[in-house]
Amino acid sequence: MADLFISYSHLDRPRCIQLRDALEALKLDVWSDAGIDAGDNFDRKIEQEIDAAKGVMVLWSANSVESNWVRNEARSGAEREQLVAVQLDECTLPLEFRSIHTESLREGAEKSGDAVWYRLLERIGKIVDRPGIASYARMHAEDADIASWRKWLAQYGSDPLAEDVLESVIGSANPEMRRQLAEEKAKRAALEAELDELRHSSKAHSGEIATSAREGARLKHDLEKAQNELSAAEVEIDRMRETAGLGHERGFWESDSSAVGLVLDERLGVYVGALLWVLSIWFLWEPVRLLMQDRAGLTTITLMILGIIFLLVPTIIVSIRIFLHRKAMQAAAMAQASFDAVDDMDAASQRSQSKQMIEQDEGSEPLGEAVSEIDPTKAE
């Protein structure tokens, strides 16, 4: 909830900013439409802020008296008897506000110790329940002595400005203590910054671990998929073997990468497949040529049928099996290699996280001691 809502014309924005900065220097929470974020409902946001504010300051000028928005906002403050009226230049006030006391504030008055400025602060102090801000501004402009500040502290000790006044009094009475206070403040600020950095680093590290876990799960899924494809290829080969009438006999069609009774590696399997194709084509070429020329006899046709059954069909089966097996094994090898790489990355991340936790544990005790030294309650 803001202390003060400023109503003004956008043409008077520079003057509004000057007054806003001067009021915020007195630790007043000031709101204007400059605080509206993109996408907010303009009139609804203003309505919420003006209803929540303790007071409304209207800046009358030749520009703002023509604005219906400014009139409505000033009316809202007047109805609650929380209006602070300021006239920036010569203008004719709206009829309904002429009976309300309005201070004519020249430009720069808030910096020169003008009596009008102090009267405005007294009015604002009554509305926001901070009656000491006017006397504070006056004493600050006049560079009051320590005794005057002590009296102000005794009267307005609960004001948010009291902490600044107390530091000023202590610093004036004892420069060495003021230096120590400044050092302690700097230490506290550095410790708080370090804590924020550790929090951000921890969040970022947690995000990296989560990303690695997701990548590992994806690669594990790819590995399982490749293994399933390999199993499916084995099942398909068995089915084709049974279709060819070979059942599950071992020997000529040995499992895995074996063929023609030999256990083959990947390259040798390709060579054997190519050799079988050459033999099949060589054996069947002449019978097929004679058949195409209508010169084939019973012996030629018999040889062709035997060649198809015992040479061409096994050659096709072996070739398909070698191709599917090589494809599945390559996919499984690639997925396994990726999965191993992710395991290494996860292990490195865990080592890094453990190291960071150890460093935080080691740093926790000095941090607590530093905070206890800074805390004036513990000091007492």
Task: Render pLDDT for 364-379 as a digit per residue (tens, 0 to 9).
Answer: 444 444 434 444 444 4
For residue 16, give the amino acid letter.
C
Domain ranges of the chain: 4-142, 205-379
Query: For residue 18, what pLDDT is reported?
Result: 93
The mean pLDDT of 228-243, rounded to a whole number, is 67
How far apart, in whole angstroms, are the C-alpha atoms of residue 65 and residue 42? 20
Cβ distance 132 to 149 under 8 Å? Answer: no
Q: Report the percentage of the chain scoring pLDDT > 90.
A: 31
What are the residues whose beta carbons fall under 8 Å from the beta carbon of 238, sequence distance 6 or more?
248
pTM of structure: 0.47
With residue 230 as reference, give the H or E element that holds it: helix 175-243
Task: Specify burial of residue 35 (Cβ count, 10 A radius: 0-12, 13-18, 19+).
Answer: exposed
CA-derived radius of gyration, the chain? 45
Matching residue, tokens 């001691």? 369
CA 85, 90, 94, 97 torsion-angle sign: positive
Confidence at residue 90, expressed as pLDDT on a 0 to 100 scale: 93
Express each pLDDT in 337-360 by its tens digit.
666 666 666 666 666 666 666 665
> Taking 80 as the threshold, does the pLDDT of residue 176 lie above it?
no
Cβ burial of 23 (10 Å; 0-12, 13-18, 19+) is buried
Report residue 151: phi and psi, to 5°. Answer: -65, -40
Q: Output the CATH code of domain 4-142.
A: 3.40.50.10140
d(CA 13, CA 11): 6
Cβ neighbours for 337, distance < 8 A, ≥ 6 positions apart: none
Is the alpha carbon torsion for 23, 29, 33, 36 positive or negative?
positive
